Amino acid sequence: MAETTLYRVTFLNRNEVYEIYAREVGQAGMYGFVEVADPVFGEKSEVIIDPTEERLRAEFKGVRRFYIPVHSVVRIDQVEKRGPARVTAMDDSKGGTVTPFNPGMPPRGK
């Protein structure tokens, strides 16, 4: 059986940190975006149901490919097996560990 590549993509969305798994990740044809294709979620037949993963499954229902602004990407890892997909709130009052990086656009003509 051929080995399939799996990626864990961590990105910021509306003051929340999303961590999802996907089969394909690459540079998008649109400048400034990362393309994520074929999101992977747990089997619906599992006995234990994670409400966070169910929320993500519902949010990405029917989505085959989506685009994330490059400044929202926190980390992309190639992994051997899938873990739980999750959404975590950014809590700045507790000195959160995720800091958004916004390099901005370079000035014109330089």
Among 77, 79, 76, 66, smallest CA distance to 33 is for: 66
Domains of the chain by residue range: 6-90
Q: Determine the distance from the C-alpha atom of residue 58 to the mean position of all C-alpha atoms in its chain, rounded to a whole number.
A: 15
Task: Tell me the whole-structure pTM to 2 decimals.
Answer: 0.73
- How far apart CA 43 and CA 66 sit, in angstroms, is 21
Could you read off the pLDDT of 17-75 as tens digits, one per residue?
Answer: 999 999 999 998 888 999 999 998 876 555 666 677 888 888 888 999 999 999 999 99
Question: How does strand 65-69 pair with strand 6-13?
Answer: unpaired
Q: 21 vs 12, 36, 71, CA distance in Å?
A: 15, 9, 19
